[in-house]
Amino acid sequence: MQHATSHISGRWVSGGTDLPIIGPVTGAPVAQVITGGWDVQAALDHARGVGGPALRAMGFHDRARMLKALAGYLEAHKARLFAVNPLTGATTRDGRVDIDGGIGTLAAYASKARRELPDGHVWIDGGAEPMGRSGAFIGQHIATSLQGVAVHINAFNFPVWGMLEKLAPTLLAGVPAIIKPATQTCYLTHACYALMLEAGVLPPGAVQLVIGPLGDMLDRLGPQDVVSFTGSADTALRLRANPNLLRHSTRFMAEQDSLNAAILGPDADEGSPEWELFLKEAAQEITTKAGQKCTAMRRLIVPEARLNTVEAALAARLAALPPTDPADPQARLGALASLAQKADVLAKLSVLRTEARLVAGDPDRFAVVGGDAAQAFLPAMLLRCDDPDGARAVHDTEAFGPVATLMPYRDTAHAADLANRGGGSLVASLFSHDPDVALSVTMASAAHHGRLYIMDRDAAPDATGHGAPMPQMVHGGPGRAGGGEELGGIRAVLHYMQRTAVQASPRIVTAITNQWQRGAPEVVAFDHPFQRTFPDLHIGETIHTAARPVTLNDIEHFAYFTGDTFYAHMDEDAAKANPFFPGRVAHGYLLLSFAAGLFVQPDPGPVLANTGLNGLAFQKPVSPGDSIAAQLTVKRKTRRTDTYGEVAWAVILRNQDGEQVAEYELLTMVAYSA
């Protein structure tokens, strides 16, 4: 039997109240959990006083490496989690979504952080804003780690993914977390948490685990803390209304269950690829996790002329997916999480049946392959509502199980309106190959949904699925869906950071951001920066090159050599007729080539490769007879591997009058040693 206890202040809690967890598959106890027996304030003090400082001492890339190592350890030992998974009622396929999905999210955040976050402690939000005419006073938005604790309150349906998808951006932000899983499936969360501790990569106090109630923890949170909640709208409303949270404006993010919709496009004829994709995904969404997904399709909106055909086709697919003992490797539809959850689904089903009739699946008569129908099993059920305009319950009542409702629409505008009647959802799907239909539905309904999943034959080979929140894309939605966001790449990290506007001189802003700002002092080295190793280069290190004349012969040679004979470079009269040019001008890319020749150091050295160019802008044309000179400044440094790092150089080109003609950011890889 599985055991689960809280882990507070670096220790497993031995006291408290024993509570048996009744399994959904056999009705026998599957776990023994111990709730209570720990000090709420001590947990908060440990997170704020030990975990927070330890995480903030690490930079973004250090935290990313930590997540990568953690994901690697969990991947290597995930068999221990899959062994527990069936006890929760979940099939092997469900476990892949939960366990593999959670580990994959950790790995994805580790990778994105190394690519997109700076190698330091401060996130730079946008470019510097001039606050005066001379450039001596500028403004820069930054984000820094909150100095509190993140309290994660998770739902029962994804005991692993639900923990890890919140934890990845939180730890990247440098904020410690107190994790509170739903009690019914907390033993699987506990097993994953124990593996995380075994990995030995998390600093003390970075994570704590609460089994059972939080006590009065919400009453003790402050303005530097965050509550991140997943679950029902009713519970979210009760929690976010906590007077202490309101008093301190404590951040509260909610990801709530919603009545997500899927629309079969008017162009998706029977037998078309989009028709088949719709049926496949609808059946999958109804049965995965026994329908216990906040992103599951609840309302299937189809053209009224095809309602009967869709009903018959989908009913046949669902009939081939009977509820099955989740320990069976072939099981597609497992058990709900508990008998209480089954009772709740049946109660909501009764409400839905006041407006819709059951056309597939019978909760009173069904068999379970290898299991007992009296336990927490239900068949896949499909309802049909012929009058969705006059209905109400189908748009505001969710049976959180293997249940969906078919309804007809007249035209695209009507379909979007029906989808929007859910009051805000996490995701809405459209199965259509027609770009005009996609545009129409997007403009009519995007404001009502956190994600639009538009599926057709072109996207299908790489499609991730209607109900699969991906680390790169936001997971959340307006209204009923909670009004919050999770995931979405680096956006999620910023939920645990404070944006601040810093106004100061370029020198001070450079020191704060560790990124050179125009107008900050320049550092002059005795040797060429291309001969200096990564550790030896300093932010602000600058060279000013000699000038090089640009001749008409240069322009013509470049034109014929490259094939770029655009009239502005070759035809004096046509160029003069162009309001942007005084006459024939040099190619922009000729200027870039000349700049490279001006600042490059040709001898072998630490510079390994030129890997990119960002933010190129041509500000003033260069005519034959002008000359250009380059300024090359170390703007930013980022560690990449144990042997080399990335250096971003600010490049500015000026003409013989000192006027800026171009600027860009050059990226090079530079070795740590010569």
CATH number at residue 201: 3.40.605.10
Element (H, E) at 260: strand 260-264
In angstroms, the Cα distances linking 321 to 23, 35, 287 are 22, 38, 8
Residue type, 469: P
In angstroms, the Cα distances linking 332 to 285, 327, 483 are 11, 11, 32
- pLDDT at residue number 404: 97
Task: Clarify whether residues 303 and 363 are in a common domain.
Answer: yes
540 CB neighbour count, 10 Å cutoff: 21
Task: Clarify whether residues 238 and 213 are in a common domain.
Answer: yes
Q: Which residue, 227, 248, 247, 225, is CA-closest to 236?
A: 227
Mean pLDDT over residues 72-90, rounded?
95
Phi-psi region of 37 (alpha: psi -120 to 50; beta: other; left: phi over 0): left
Task: Supply 190's token pair.
Answer: 């506990």
Q: Is residue 503 part of a domain?
A: no
- pLDDT at residue number 17: 85
- pLDDT at residue number 631: 93
Is the confidence at residue 525, as pLDDT, over 80? no
Q: Are 128 and 483 in contact (CB under 8 A)?
A: no
Task: Supply 337's token pair.
Answer: 């999480």
Residue type, 402: P
CATH code (residue 590): 3.10.129.10
Q: Are 272 and 433 in contact (CB under 8 A)?
A: yes
Task: Clarify whether residues 421 and 439 are in a common domain.
Answer: yes
Task: Clarify whether residues 40 and 57 are in a common domain.
Answer: yes
- pLDDT at residue number 133: 85
* CA–CA dist 526, 307 (Å, integer): 78
* CA–CA dist 19, 1 (Å, integer): 13
255 catalytic per annotation: yes
Query: At residue 468, what are phi and psi to the nearest 5 degrees?
Result: -110, 100
Q: Is residue 602 part of a domain?
A: yes
Residue 663 class from Cβ within 10 Å (0-12 exposed, 13-18 middle, 19+ buried)?
middle
> What tens digit of pLDDT does each residue of 270-314 get?
999 999 999 999 999 999 999 999 899 999 999 999 999 999 999
Q: Is residue 337 part of a domain?
A: yes
Is the confidence at residue 135, as pLDDT, over 90? no
Task: Clarify whether residues 314 and 185 are in a common domain.
Answer: no
* CA–CA dist 267, 258 (Å, integer): 27
Residue 186 DSSP SS3: helix
Buried b (16+ CB within 10 A) or exposed e, 372-386: eeebbbbbbbbbbbe
CA angle 601, 603, 609 (to 5 degrees): 70
Per-residue pLDDT band for 521 (boundaries 50, 70, 90) equals confident
Mean pLDDT over residues 561-566, rounded?
92
Is the confidence at residue 526, as pLDDT, over 80? no
Q: Is residue 482 part of a domain?
A: no
Domains contained in the chain, number? 3
- pLDDT at residue number 451: 93
Q: Are 230 and 155 in contact (CB under 8 A)?
A: yes
* CA–CA dist 563, 557 (Å, integer): 10
Residue type, 196: M
Whether this model's pTM surpasses 0.85: yes
Residue 141 DSSP SS3: strand
- pLDDT at residue number 16: 80
> What tens digit of pLDDT does each residue of 620-634 get?
999 999 999 999 999
Task: Clarify whether residues 606 and 562 are in a common domain.
Answer: yes
Q: Are 221 and 151 in contact (CB under 8 A)?
A: yes
622 CB neighbour count, 10 Å cutoff: 24
Is the confidence at residue 181, as pLDDT, over 90? yes
CA angle 49, 52, 55 (to 5 degrees): 140
Q: Are 58 and 174 in contact (CB under 8 A)?
A: yes
Mean pLDDT over residues 397-415, rounded?
96
To which residue do tokens 């028709």 refer? 275
Task: Clarify whether residues 317 and 353 are in a common domain.
Answer: yes
Task: Clarify whether residues 303 and 156 are in a common domain.
Answer: no
Is the confidence at residue 372, as pLDDT, over 90? yes
Is the confidence at residue 405, as pLDDT, over 90? yes
Query: Of residues 294, 485, 486, 646, which has the active-site annotation?
Result: 294
Task: Clarify whether residues 368 and 274 are in a common domain.
Answer: yes
What's the start-to-end Cα distance of the chain, in Å? 58
Q: Is residue 515 part of a domain?
A: no
Query: Of residues 255, 285, 485, 541, which has the active-site annotation?
Result: 255
Torsion of CA 586, 587, 592, 598, to 10 degrees: -30
Residue 516 C-alpha from the chain's centroid: 29
To which residue do tokens 């111990």 refer? 34
Task: Clarify whether residues 295 and 241 are in a common domain.
Answer: no
Element (H, E) at 650: strand 644-655
Is the confidence at residue 256, as pLDDT, over 90? no
- pLDDT at residue number 18: 85
Q: Are 282 and 262 in contact (CB under 8 A)?
A: yes
Per-residue pLDDT band for 641 (boundaries 50, 70, 90) equals confident
Mean pLDDT over residues 537-551, rounded?
92
Q: Is residue 516 part of a domain?
A: no
Q: Is residue 477 part of a domain?
A: no
Is the confidence at residue 467, as pLDDT, over 90? no
Query: At residue 639, what are phi and psi to the nearest 5 degrees?
Result: -65, 140
Mean pLDDT over residues 408-417, rounded?
96
- pLDDT at residue number 232: 85
Is the confidence at residue 102, as pLDDT, over 80? yes
DSSP state at residue 136: S
Task: Clarify whether residues 309 and 165 are in a common domain.
Answer: no
Mean pLDDT over residues 424-452, rounded?
95
- pLDDT at residue number 601: 83
Task: Clarify whether residues 31 and 136 are in a common domain.
Answer: yes
* CA–CA dist 638, 153 (Å, integer): 35
Sign of the torsion formed by the C-alpha atoms of 120, 123, 129 and 132: negative
Range of the domain at 461: 260-469
645 CB neighbour count, 10 Å cutoff: 20
- pLDDT at residue number 575: 87
Mean pLDDT over residues 457-477, rounded?
90
> What tens digit of pLDDT does each residue of 6-40 get?
999 999 998 888 889 889 999 899 888 888 888 99
Q: Is residue 504 part of a domain?
A: no
Q: Which residue, 4, 450, 444, is CA-closest to 183?
A: 4
Q: Which residue, 250, 253, 274, 249, is CA-closest to 264?
A: 274
* CA–CA dist 297, 309 (Å, integer): 19
